[in-house]
Structure 1
Amino acid sequence: MGRHTKVVYREIQRPRSILWWVFNLLPATFMWYWFIQQTIFGVPMGNKPAPDIVAIIFWVIFGIVFPVFMLWLLKLIIEVRKDGIYLRFVPFHFKYKQFLFEDINDFKSITYSPLERFGGWGVRINSKDETAYIMNGKEGIELRLRYNTVVIGTQKPAELKNALNLAQRIN
């Protein structure tokens, strides 16, 4: 049912932290440097330099594909539909993860520390068996399901909660 139901609310989040950009572009910068030094200028890197083909392969993977993959494709899509809330952490989820209202006991807006509660950002599971889907910030919606708790990070917690309330009434 879920895939074709009307979307009541949609939020798309992309990485915004400067540290995220630095930690992803630093290896790419090194790969570009290695590639240019060794394959273009002919200056081998290190005491036991890798063959040029290895430098080219690493450059393509970590200098081009990985940064594009992580910086331009990465996003968290949150959708509220009349039957529940749907998440997709692109490019890691190929289809939407759904949390139907029939499985949700309660939900509320929260302010939390992603580092303290979950050990960071992304898709996380902590020691209390709580799952988190966090892209940025410290605000979110906590869903209390039948058997576990899910925290969804959002930039617009009031709008998301209102959309959940509205969709739950429609359902």
Structure 2
Amino acid sequence: MEKHTNVVYRETQRPRQILWWVLILLPATFMWYWFIQQIINGVPVGNKPAPDVVTIIFWAIFGIVFPVFMLGLSKLIIEVLNDGLYIRFVPFHFKYKQYLFKDIRHYESITYSPLKRFGGWGTRINFKGEMVYNINGKKGIELRLRNNTVVVGTRKPDELKKALELVQRTQ
């Protein structure tokens, strides 16, 4: 993981919505049930049960790896550095996505509906070509760039805006 120096502002968000947890844990629970029934108890699951190897592979992926990645490792990192705003959605982005001040025409603190405007949470693009990075909540900073609009979900929109203003004033 690359580390940034001269970080003026940093926020790390983790998923908190119940729906997120349910969508991850429901299939994981079924995989554990399937694994325990078929491998441990020796009772095949379904009319045409999968071979034990397939059961073990699916259990390992969707019962262990997927929940750990999605619930344990998922986080949105927002940083303001001297040259711009940096965003990384772990584990999906391997590098920070950078929005340099020279490319930002305007920014403002907003309240928005992630479902209505973007169809949900995560990294998304809507029909207008606007992009969002959010993990929960409905507050954010809207960046108007030269060619498009980017919304960054944050729990602290006023602090993020102040950090952006502070860095731009010192340039």
TM-score exceeds 0.5: yes
The 3-state SS of whatever aligns with 2:143 is strand
Identity %: 75
The 3-state SS of whatever aligns with 1:7 is coil
Write the deviation string for residues 115-142 of structure 1: whole angstroms up to 9, x where unpaired.
0000000000001100000110000000
The 3-state SS of whatever aligns with 1:61 is helix
Identify if the C-alpha distance between structure 1 residues 68 and 81 changes in structure 2 by more than 3 Å, giving closer, same or farther: same
The answer to whether the 8 Å contact 1:5/1:82 transfers is no
Pairing 1:21–2:43 present: no
Task: Identify the residue that residue 142 of structure 2 maps to in structure 1.
Answer: 142
Identify if the C-alpha distance between structure 1 residues 15 and 103 changes in structure 2 by more than 3 Å, giving closer, same or farther: same
Identify if the C-alpha distance between structure 1 residues 4 and 71 changes in structure 2 by more than 3 Å, giving closer, same or farther: closer
| Residues in 2 aligned to 1:108 and 1:17: alpha-carbon distance in whole angstroms | 25
Task: Identify the residue that residue 157 of structure 1 maps to in structure 2.
Answer: 157
Task: Identify the residue that residue 130 of structure 1 maps to in structure 2.
Answer: 130
Task: Identify the residue that residue 91 of structure 1 maps to in structure 2.
Answer: 91
Write the deviation string for residues 11-62 of structure 1: whole angstroms up to 9, x where unpaired.
0000001111111001000000000000010110100000111100000000
Output the TM-score relative to the length of structure 2. 0.97
Aligned-residue Cα RMSD (Å) equals: 0.9
Q: How far is 1:74 from its partner? A: 0.4
Say how many residue pairs are matched. 169
The 3-state SS of whatever aligns with 1:63 is helix
Output the TM-score relative to the length of structure 1. 0.97
The 3-state SS of whatever aligns with 1:107 is strand
Runs of 4 or more above 2 Å deviation: none
Superposed counterparts of 1:35-74, under 5 Å: 35-74=35-74
Q: How far is 1:5 from its partner? A: 4.5
Question: Structure 1 stretches of 5 or more lacking a match?
Answer: none
Question: Structure 2 stretches of 5 or more lacking a match?
Answer: none
The answer to whether the 8 Å contact 1:86/1:99 transfers is yes
